[in-house]
Amino acid sequence: MKRPGRELANRPLHFIWMVDCSGSMSGDKISAANYAIKDAIPGMRQAAEENPNAQLLVRALRFDNGASWITPAPTPVEDFDWDPLDAAGLTAMGAAYGLLCDQLEMPPMPERALPPVIVMLSDGNPTDEYKANLDRLLKLAWGKKAVRIAIAIGNDVDRAILEEFTCNPELVLKAENAAQLSSMIKWASTVAKQVSSPVSMAVTSDTDGGDMPIDISGIPSGDASVSVW
């Protein structure tokens, strides 16, 4: 079986946004998510400029009644922009996992990439069968290697379902208002810088790849006293 890893220089780093666009996200939630992701892009570009040994490629997918790629192909961060999303429909999280798995196979993912960073935003629970595609994701070489972060928006999310995705309860963040969501999205967008640091690149350069160390000390907590969701 092919394994991820290999060379250190000029390795691609795929950063993927997974955005819940179900009806319950309409209004303030999707507006806050749109603003926060767009606001995070300049910082991602700056971080990419500071590390010439990695090529940061960004794309996004949405899920509602089904799932679809917003960005057809991985896009260099300097060319990536964010067009506002709308929200309506159900929460086809399982379909989103299926699309993600198709792109984490080798190919199209190269063997010599850095571990992908996948950030999922959701305010609800799956309305389709998600277990089979999630199991597939966690068995793929790059699915296991990926840094998987979930941001639970509001109080209606089953945290246990998001922990199944991250496999790490500390990487399930909870946003109770727009300010918290903005802070958490901004933090998540900086994880690519950690993954592409010289120390992290060395950890993933051997045949087995090793586990990706992520510093979670900077995860923002925000002010929950102004909860609106």
Residues 192/47, Cβ–Cβ less than 8 Å? yes
- Binned at pLDDT 50, 70 and 90, residue 164 comes out as very high
pTM of the model: 0.90
- Binned at pLDDT 50, 70 and 90, residue 43 comes out as very high
Average pLDDT over residues 130-151: 97
Pairing of β 75-76 and β 54-63: antiparallel
Residue 202 clears pLDDT 70, i.e. is over it: no
Locate 118 and state its tokens: 């996948």
Can you give the pLDDT at residue 216?
Answer: 79
- Binned at pLDDT 50, 70 and 90, residue 169 comes out as very high
Average pLDDT over residues 199-219: 59
Can you give the pLDDT at residue 217?
Answer: 77
Closest CA to 21 of 119, 90, 80: 90
Can you give the pLDDT at residue 95?
Answer: 98
Closest CA to 97 of 127, 62, 64, 137: 137
Cis amide leading into 107 (omega within 30):
yes
Q: Mean pLDDT in the chain?
A: 89
Distance CA 217, CA 39 (A): 22
Distance CA 7, CA 207 (A): 10
Q: Containing H/E element for 193?
A: helix 191-195
Distance CA 35, CA 151 (A): 15
Helices 28-49 + 178-189 axis angle, to 10: 30
Locate 121 and state its tokens: 């935003």
Can you give the pLDDT at residue 200?
Answer: 53
Per-residue pLDDT of 84-124, as tens digits, reads 999 999 999 999 999 999 999 999 999 889 999 999 999 99
Cis amide leading into 12 (omega within 30):
no
- Binned at pLDDT 50, 70 and 90, residue 207 comes out as very low
Can you give the pLDDT at residue 173?
Answer: 96
Distance CA 68, CA 42 (A): 25
Q: Containing H/E element for 60?
A: strand 54-63
Can you give the pLDDT at residue 4?
Answer: 57
Per-residue pLDDT of 10-26, as tens digits, reads 799 999 999 999 999 99
